Structure 1
Amino acid sequence: MTMADKHSDKKENIKEDQEAVTEKDEDTAVEDDEVVTLKKQLDEAQNDYLRAQAEIQNMQKSNQKEQSNLVKFGAQGLAKDIIPAMDDLKRALEVEVDDESGQQLKSGIEMVYKHLKKALTDNNINEIDDANVEFNPELHQAVQTVAASDEHPSGTVVQVLQTGYELAGRVIRPAMVVVAQ
């Protein structure tokens, strides 16, 4: 082999190496594009997964809160049904009786009233019936006003006409009151 042949072979080898490098660069460029696309898809899938997880957690919290409220305020419907009966019993107790049988009947009504009141209290249902307190529009419904005095300053509940009720801080029925102005 002559020197010219060797030189020619080297040129061919260099040319082949350059073509191989060019092919590798093209393959690498294609692979880089695929890697970028796959990374983008992976990021999107991870974001979708995280959003779905957050949504599930929010739904769980919402359900827990709803269940807690159901437990907390579950007695509200029953209370609304019992409260009118409590009002009737209270009015019956206000009636004056003179004879023995009337006293016995009143005593029986009082026992029923106390048992119902205890059942309501045991279920976190409390009366709103305080006089001589500051008028609170969230707890009281003013149905009448009277002139303020030294005994009853302006904005004070003078008399409770109808007892109100609340369940765990939520007003079931406001107390109907007379307010000093």
Structure 2
Amino acid sequence: MNEEVNEQTDIDTEKTEEVPETDAMNETNSTEGATEEVLQPEEEDNYAVLQAENEQQADQILRLQAEIANIQRTNARNQQNITKYRSQQLATSLLDVIDNLERALETEVTTEDATALKKGVEMVLNQFKAAFESEKITAIDPLNEPFDPNFHQAVSMMPAGDGQESNTVIQVLQKGYVLEDRVIRPAMVIVAE
């Protein structure tokens, strides 16, 4: 009989032990469920933060790409201008030479030797002009044209003569030159009042 009582006590103990374990498991499960519910809003917040950061980085990438494209366009334009106006400095240096050659041709000669020399100077001047034309450098010779401050530099004003309109170039003191669309040197002129 003692054995039966001991067996029954063992069974009751097992039942008692099982019940608290089951309750403990239920509590653990309910705690885990509560933890999941608490984590879900945090995960949503984390997701929203990550999504906002992703959008911000995507926007930053687009802006940087646009900035790079602008830099590339600017560099291409600068390179074109360098190529287009590459001969400007040399041309500016040679303008005085052309002016002097033109002045030399204006002198009157009487001897045969002087005439031959003048012919040689004229050939040199023509070569300079041909070289300038090949580099798209053209002269500004605005005699009897309206005064344009973009291309002309007025040295003085004189009263208009017969048949001359006011604000017209009546004398060119020094020719101007243009490279492509850029003025290398404006023409020095006298303008009618």
Structure 2: distance between partners of 1:55 and 1:149 = 59
Q: Give the percent of matched residue pairs that are identical in Structure 1 and Structure 2.
A: 39
1:29-72 deviation line (CA, Å, top 9, x unaligned)? 12111101111211121122112111111110110111011011
Question: 1:100 matched to which residue of 2?
Answer: 112
Cα distance in 1 between the residues matched to 2:76 and 2:163: 48
* In the alignment, structure 1 residue 37 sits paired with structure 2 residue 54: no
Q: For the residues of structure 1 that align with 2:49 and 2:31, how far apart are their CA atoms? A: 27
Is 1:121 the counterpart of 2:133? The answer is yes
Provide the C-alpha distance between the structure 1 equivalents of 2:147 and 2:139, rounded to a whole number of angstroms.
15
Distance 1:41 1:130 in 2: 64
Q: Which residue of 1 aligns with 2:83?
A: 71
Using the TM superposition, give the Cα deviation of residue 144 of structure 1 relative to its aligned residue in structure 2, in angstroms.
2.6
Q: CA deviation at 1:22?
A: 2.9
Question: Per-residue CA shift, 1:72-128, capped at 9, x if unaligned?
Answer: 111110111110000000000000001111111111100110110111111111100
Which position in structure 1 is the counterpart of 2:34? 22
State the match for 1:5 in structure 2.
Answer: none
Larger Rg: 2
CA RMSD for the aligned pairs?
Answer: 1.9
Whether 1:136 aligns to 2:136 is: no
Question: Who is 2:58 aligned against?
Answer: 46
TM superposition score normalised by structure 2: 0.82
What is the CA–CA distance in structure 2 between the aligned matches of 1:129 and 1:155, rounded to whole Å?
16
In structure 1, stretches of 5+ residues that fail to align are 1-11
Matched, 1:167 2:166: no
Match of 1:9 in 2: none
- Count of residue pairs brought into register by the alignment: 171
| Matches of 1:152 and 1:114, distance apart in 2 | 32
Query: Structure 1 segments of 4 or more deviating over 6 A?
Result: 12-17
Q: Normalising by structure 1, report the TM-score.
A: 0.87
